[in-house]
């Protein structure tokens, strides 16, 4: 409105261009905001935000073998496929490979382990270990069940 007053009568076309640019700028800034995030329960927040660890053998998915995709509890990004899940008898869901690009690794503050998080939203997932010889890929992503949701494959 103010812009219209400034450019006056002769500026009709200009005004139109300005508002178009403005709309594009608003769309751009909205698309840069983080993806919608699910509301977390206090237990979920303890693990996902404060990097806690759920008790072993208590999670939903440590002894769960259905075919499907594991997704981030907070943002819904796809993290792991059931084909990469294996029994490590450690009490947490274990995977030997993530969906490409889905998981970020960083040194854990304990100076020893490698922390893994959702590459999309930074949710804490658990830790990754190598050299344990569980599978051919020789990697174990030890993931808290509470950090994930499971989407079963559609039955053909």
- The reply to whether 147 sits near Zn ion by the rule CB under 5 A is no
Rounded least distance, CB 11 to Zn ion, Å: 46
- Using the contact rule CB under 5 A, the part of the chain among 1-9, 91-99, 113-121, 140-148 near Zn ion is 113-121
Contact 80, 69 (CB under 8 A): yes
Report the distance separating Cα 97 and Cα 139, nearest Å: 7
Rounded least distance, CB 60 to Zn ion, Å: 17
- The reply to whether 47 sits near Zn ion by the rule CB under 5 A is no
Residue 95's nearest CA partner among 134, 124, 44 is 134
Contact 51, 45 (CB under 8 A): no
Residue 94's nearest CA partner among 39, 146, 142 is 142
Catalytic residue list contains 118: no
Rounded least distance, CB 80 to Zn ion, Å: 12
- The reply to whether 72 sits near Zn ion by the rule CB under 5 A is yes
Residue 123's nearest CA partner among 76, 80, 89 is 76
Collapse the DSSP code of 9 into the 3-class scheme (helix H, G, I; strand E, B; otherwise coil) and give the result.
helix
Q: Which of 44, 102, 116, 120 binds Zn ion (CB under 5 A)?
A: 120
Q: Is 37 or 135 the residue whose CB approaches Zn ion more closely?
A: 37
- The reply to whether 119 sits near Zn ion by the rule CB under 5 A is no
Number of residues located near Zn ion, criterion CB under 5 A = 8
Number of H helices, E strands in the chain: 3, 9
- The reply to whether 75 sits near Zn ion by the rule CB under 5 A is yes
Q: Which residues bind Zn ion (CB under 5 A)?
A: 72, 74-75, 77, 118, 120-121, 123
List residues with catalytic annotation: 142
């Amino acid at each position: 409105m103010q812009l219209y007053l400034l450019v006056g009568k002769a500026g009709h076309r200009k005004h139109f261009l300005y508002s178009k640019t403005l709309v594009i700028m608003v769309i751009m800034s909205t698309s840069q905001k983080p993806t919608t995030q699910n509301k977390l329960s206090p237990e979920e927040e303890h693990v996902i935000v404060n990097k806690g660890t759920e008790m072993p053998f208590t999670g939903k998915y440590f002894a769960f073998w259905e075919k499907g995709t594991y997704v981030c509890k907070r943002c819904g990004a796809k993290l792991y496929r059931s084909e990469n899940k294996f029994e490590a008898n450690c009490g947490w869901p274990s995977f030997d490979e993530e969906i490409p690009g889905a998981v970020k690794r960083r040194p854990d503050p304990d100076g020893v382990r490698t922390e893994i998080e959702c590459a999309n939203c930074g949710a804490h997932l658990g830790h990754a270990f190598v050299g344990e010889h569980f599978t051919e890929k020789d990697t174990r992503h030890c993931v808290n069940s509470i950090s994930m949701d499971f989407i079963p494959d559609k039955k053909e």
